[in-house]
Structure 1
Amino acid sequence: MNRIRHPSYLLPYTRSHHSSRGARITLIERGTLGGTCVNVGCVPSKILIRAAHVAHLRRESPFDGGISAWAPVVDRARLLQQQQSRVEELRDAKYEGILRDHPAITVLSGEARFVDAHTLKVKLTAGGEQTVRFDRAFIGSGARPAEPPLPGLAETPYLTSTSALALDSIPERLIVIGAGFVALELVQAFARLGSRVTVLARSRLLSQEDPAVGEAVEAVFYREGIEVLNQTQANRVDYTNGEFVLDTNAGTLHADQLLVATGRTPNTEALNLASIGVETVRGAILVDEHLQTTVPSLYAAGDCTNQPEFVYVAAAGGSRAAVNMTGGDARLDLSAMPGVMFTDPQVGTVGLTEAEALEQGFSVESRVLDLENVPRALVNFDTEGFIKIVAERETGRLLGVQAVAGEAGELIQTAVIALRARMTVQDIGDELFPYLTMVEGLKLCAQTFTKDVTQLSCCAG
C-alpha cells in the first residue's frame, strides 16, 4: 500500500521562486533525510512483502502438482540487511546526493518552530539555535504511528509499522491491532515469513471500503492460517516474562510480539502553529486546493495535513505548492485518487463505492465480475477476487471501481484515467484491451452491464 508517513522537514522559501526557477531554499530536517516513504514506509515494506510472496510461492503455489514445493528457510537478518541496503541506496540517490549537489539549497539539521508568518527558530541538532527568515514556507512534517489510549500499552515494547520493518527475526506468535491497509499488508507478510498471526479488527477488515473487499481479503487470510477476530477490542495489554498478554472481549490472547497499526498522528505539535494563526483539526493542518494554509505565506502537504495519507498525494501536493509559492496557480484534484493495498491478492480502489454513490444522491447501477471470468486469472490458476464497477444508472458514467485481484494496483490506474475522462461503461467495454492481462477484466466487467460475458469467446471484443 503506497502511503507517506512522517517526513519531518520544513522548506522555508527565501526568494520568490522554487529552486528550479531560481529560488534560494533552506530545508530543515529533524530526523533522516528522505522522510518515511524511502526510509521506513513504502520502500522497506514493499521489499518485505515481496520477500514474503517469494517465500509463500516456494512453499505453496497453484502449480504444485507439477512443480515440487518445499518449506523455505527464512533468514530474516539477511533479508533485513538486503532491505536496508536498498533503502540507503535510494536515500542517497534521490535525496542526500541531490541536496549535496544543489547550490541553491541549504540543509539545517534540527527542529523548527514558527515565531511568526515569516520567521522560524531552529533548535540545531548540533547545539544552539538559528533564526531563519523567509518569504514563504512549505510544511511537510508528516505523521507518526498513533498510540491508542489502551491501558498498559505505553509500558510495553510494542511494535509500530515503523519498528516492525526493522525486526531482525520473525516472531513465532504475532498479534496485530488494526485492520487498514498498512496493518493488513504486514499481517500477511509476517504470516508468510513464518509467524502465527492474529488480527484484531474493531469492526471488520477494511471497514472504509466496500464490504465485499474486506470479506475477500478475510477469506484469503483464513486459507493462509491467519486468524481474524472481527468486532474485537483489547481492554488492557501487559508484558511479562517476554510475552504480551491482551485482555479482549474475545478472551485472553498471548503473543511474542504485538504490532499496533491503528492510524497516524500529524507531526505538528512542536511547530507553534496555533500562535501564528494556522488552523488545524486534531493536529492536521487545514489546506485548500492550492495547498495554502490559513496563513497566506505558509503552505503544506502530506500526512501533516487533512489530505489522504498516500505518498503520491503528498508528492503531488508538494509540487503544486511549490508552483503556487512562486506565483503560479496549480490545484490538487483528488476526485480520481487511487488506493492500493499490496496484499496478495492486491486491493485497488478509485472513486465512489456503491454506498458512497447512493449517499451522494446518484441513481446507481453496479456489476461484480468474479475473476473466474477473467482469462488471465484462469491461466494463472488464481481466481481469488473480483472486479466491481459502480456507474450512474441513466448515463452509464463510471463512478468507481473496486478490485481484489493479482496486480490490482496496475489494473486500477486504467480505471483512474477512465474516471478522469468521464468515460461510460459502454466506452470502456468498447475499448481494445490486450488479451491475457488482468486489466482486461475491467473491460469484461464493463461489458456485463449489457452482455453475459460467460457466453463470449475468450478474447471477444
Structure 2
Amino acid sequence: MSDHHSTNDPTHFLIIGGGSAAFAAAIEAHGLGARVTIVNDGLPIGGTCVNVGCVPSKFLLRAAEAHHFPTHHRFAGIKGTSKVNFSEVIAQKRALVESLRQAKYIDVIDPLDRVQYRQARARFVGPKTVEVDGEHITADHILIATGTTPAVPPIDGLDAVDYLTNETAFELNELPESMVILGGSYVGLEIAQIFSRFGTRVTVLEAQPQILPAEANDLSEGLAAYFGDEGIEVVTNAQTTRIRSGDNKVVLSVDVNGQPREFSAERLLVATGRRPNSDALGLDKAGVAVDTHGFITVDSALNTTAENIYAAGDVIGHPMFVYTDAYEGKLAARNALSPQTSKVNYHPLPWVVFTDPQVAGVGFDERQAAEEGFDPQSTVLPLTEVPRAIAARDTRGFIKLIRDRHTDRLLGARILAPEGSELLMEIAVALRQEMTVAELADILHPYLTLSEGIRLAALSFDKKLEALSCCAG
C-alpha cells in the first residue's frame, strides 16, 4: 500500500449504489486504504442479482424443473406425479434471498471499519459533492453504480393495467392461470419457462423476427422449438399496439406479421429491456455525460466525462451481467486509488440463458469473428452424438465451435444443451490461452461426461464421428 493511502486522513471514496459493482468497489477500496461511503436508494442492499434477479430466478427455475421432471422424463418403466404449493415455493425463495443478502453483503461489509453504508438518496450538487439527506458530502473519488430498472415500452393502455416485471413476478403468492410476456430475451424466456412448468399457460410475444434477437438463429430457433414442445407459445414479429383490461384478463391487440391478432391472459409481464437509474442523480451538476438512452458514458478505464468520477455496472450499459458488474466495480476502485490504470477486458466473455435447455456462449460467433478479421469456420455437434446425453435420455441441442480456417485457432463456442453453462469455462480457458482446435481435441475427457462433447465437436472439424470408437479414439 502506498504512503498516500496510509495517512491519518485516508482518501474518501464515495459509492452511489448498493449492488454487485458497488460492493466489489467498496471491498477493493477498503483494501487499498480508503475511507468508503456507500449511499444506496434503490433495491435493498445487494441490488438486482440477489433480490430480484439471478438468485430468485435460478432458484425458481430449479424448483419448476423439479416439478416438471417426474412427468416429463424419457425413461421407460418410471411413472411419477408432482403437486405444487406455490406459496410455499415463494416463501422458500424469500428465505434464500434473505440468507444470501445477509451472508454475502451485510456480513461482508460489517467488519470493514472504514466502510459506512447509508440507505438514502444521493444527488450531485457539484463536481465532487453530493447531497444526502440534506447533508453535503465531498469525496476525493466517486463511483456511480446505480444499476438499472425494467424498461416499460410506450404502449397505449399499458399504464392502466396491473402489469408485472421481474421485480414483482417472483413475489406472487398464487400461480396465474395464464400469462402473456412481452419480450423474448434472457429475462422473459427464463420467466416464461418458470411459470409454464409450474402450470401457467404462457405466451411470449417478441417484436423482433426471433427470440434472443442478438444471437444466431440456430440458437433461437432451437430454443423456440423446445419451448413449443413444452406448450409455451412463442410469437415473433409481434408489435403490441394496445392493451386493455377485460373480464378479469389483460387483452393485447398485436400486429403479427402485418395481421391483427388479439391475445389475453390473467397476467401480463413486461420484459422488454432495462433502463439506467441515472435520471435523478443530477449528473449535469457534476459534468457527467450520458448517451441517448441515459446510460453513463465511460472510457475503457471506466472514467466518466468528469474528473475523478467513475461509473460501473449496469448503469453504463453492455454487458450487464452481475459478474461483469463486480469486475468493473473492482477495476474502477483500483483505477481511482492506485497509480496504475487498468482497462476493461471482457474477452472471452461467457454468458448464459438459464432456460432448459440452456443457451450459452463464449468468445466470437461466426459474424463477430468475421468482423474481427478472422476467416471463421464452424462445426455443429448434435447432442445425439454425445454418449452422456444419449444415456441420460436427453439429446436436446448442440455444441458449436468456431475456429479460424487458416490457423485452427479456437475463436468461440455456442451451446444449446441441458446444463450447457457447465461446458463454457473449459472453452473460456482455451480461448484465453489462444489454443487451437487440435490442442483442444488432444485433451483427455472422461467418457460419459457432457464435456466429452467439446472434444467430439473439436474432432468433428476434420473427422467423421461415425468412424470413431465409443471413446473417440
Q: TM-score, normalization: structure 1?
A: 0.93
User: 1:113 is matched with which residue?
Assistant: 123
Partner Cα distance (2:90, 2:203) in 1: 23
Contact 2:157 2:244 in 1 (8 A): yes
Structure 1 residue 435, shift from structure 2 partner = 2.0
User: 1:362 is matched with which residue?
Assistant: 374
- Aligned with residue 30 of structure 1, among 28, 41, 44: 41
User: 1:152 is matched with which residue?
Assistant: 157
- Aligned with residue 108 of structure 2, among 98, 115, 119: 98
SS at match of 1:284: coil
Which region of structure 1 is more displaced relative to structure 2, 355-364 or 275-284?
355-364
User: 2:351 is matched with which residue?
Assistant: 339
Aligned partner of 1:218: which letter? A
SS at match of 1:247: strand
Partner Cα distance (1:174, 1:115) in 2: 44
Structure 1 residue 311, shift from structure 2 partner = 0.5
Structure 1 residue 329, shift from structure 2 partner = 2.8
Partner Cα distance (1:300, 1:386) in 2: 38
- Aligned with residue 268 of structure 2, among 233, 249, 258: 258
Contact 1:10 1:138 in 2 (8 A): no
Which consecutive unaligned segments of at least 5 residues does structure 2 have? 1-16
Contact 2:276 2:294 in 1 (8 A): yes
- Aligned with residue 87 of structure 1, among 92, 97, 103: 97
- Aligned with residue 329 of structure 1, among 329, 341, 353: 341
SS at match of 1:90: helix
Partner Cα distance (1:117, 1:407) in 2: 48
User: 2:322 is matched with which residue?
Assistant: 311
Query: Is 1:20 the equivalent of 2:20?
Result: no
Contact 1:350 1:401 in 2 (8 A): yes
- Aligned with residue 146 of structure 2, among 141, 161, 177: 141
User: 1:3 is matched with which residue?
Assistant: none
Contact 2:366 2:402 in 1 (8 A): yes
Aligned partner of 1:208: which letter? A
Structure 1 residue 341, shift from structure 2 partner = 0.7
Q: Where does 1:269-288 land on structure 2 (aligned, <5 Å)?
A: 269-281=279-291, 282-288=293-299
User: 1:239 is matched with which residue?
Assistant: 245
Query: Is 1:162 the equivalent of 2:148?
Result: no
- Aligned with residue 189 of structure 1, among 189, 194, 197: 194
Contact 1:9 1:141 in 2 (8 A): no
Partner Cα distance (1:373, 1:186) in 2: 30
Structure 1 residue 221, shift from structure 2 partner = 0.6
Query: Is 1:54 the equivalent of 2:60?
Result: no
Contact 1:435 1:459 in 2 (8 A): yes
Aligned partner of 2:365: which letter? T
What stretches of structure 1 move > 6 A for 4+ residues in a row?
8-12
Partner Cα distance (2:84, 2:66) in 1: 11
Partner Cα distance (1:62, 1:395) in 2: 42
User: 2:12 is matched with which residue?
Assistant: none
Aligned partner of 1:289: which letter? S
User: 1:200 is matched with which residue?
Assistant: 205
Contact 1:11 1:28 in 2 (8 A): no
Structure 1 residue 267, shift from structure 2 partner = 0.3
Aligned partner of 1:167: which letter? L
- Aligned with residue 390 of structure 1, among 402, 410, 427: 402
Structure 1 residue 343, shift from structure 2 partner = 0.6
Structure 1 residue 242, shift from structure 2 partner = 2.3
1:174-231 C-alpha deviation (Å, 9 max, x unpaired): 1011010111011111100000111111121111111100111011111101111111
SS at match of 2:120: strand
Tell me the number of residue pairs that the alignment of Structure 1 and Structure 2 aligns. 446
SS at match of 1:81: helix
Structure 1 residue 10, shift from structure 2 partner = 9.5
Partner Cα distance (2:251, 2:236) in 1: 19
Contact 2:21 2:327 in 1 (8 A): no
Contact 1:11 1:26 in 2 (8 A): no
Which consecutive unaligned segments of at least 5 residues does structure 1 have? 1-5
Partner Cα distance (1:299, 1:372) in 2: 49
Contact 1:10 1:28 in 2 (8 A): no
Partner Cα distance (2:33, 2:19) in 1: 24
Structure 1 residue 460, shift from structure 2 partner = 2.3
Contact 1:37 1:43 in 2 (8 A): yes
Query: Is 1:415 the equivalent of 2:427?
Result: yes
Contact 1:301 1:307 in 2 (8 A): no
Aligned partner of 2:322: which letter? V
Contact 1:244 1:254 in 2 (8 A): yes
Partner Cα distance (1:300, 1:207) in 2: 27
Compared with structure 1, are the counterparts of its residues 326 and 349 closer, same or farther at alpha carbon in structure 2 (3 Å cutoff)?
same
Partner Cα distance (2:241, 2:407) in 1: 50
User: 1:225 is matched with which residue?
Assistant: 231
Structure 1 residue 34, shift from structure 2 partner = 0.8
Identity over aligned pairs, percent: 41
Structure 1 residue 9, shift from structure 2 partner = 9.7
Query: Is 1:350 the equivalent of 2:362?
Result: yes
Q: Where does 1:420-435 land on structure 2 (aligned, <5 Å)?
A: 420-435=432-447
SS at match of 1:96: helix
User: 1:249 is matched with which residue?
Assistant: 255
SS at match of 1:304: helix
SS at match of 2:251: strand
Contact 1:9 1:29 in 2 (8 A): no
Partner Cα distance (1:313, 1:9) in 2: 9
Partner Cα distance (1:290, 1:92) in 2: 31
Compared with structure 1, are the counterparts of its residues 86 and 138 closer, same or farther at alpha carbon in structure 2 (3 Å cutoff)?
same
Partner Cα distance (1:376, 1:10) in 2: 38
Contact 1:387 1:404 in 2 (8 A): yes
SS at match of 1:175: strand
Partner Cα distance (1:306, 1:222) in 2: 32
Contact 1:351 1:400 in 2 (8 A): yes
Structure 1 residue 7, shift from structure 2 partner = 4.6
User: 1:293 is matched with which residue?
Assistant: 304
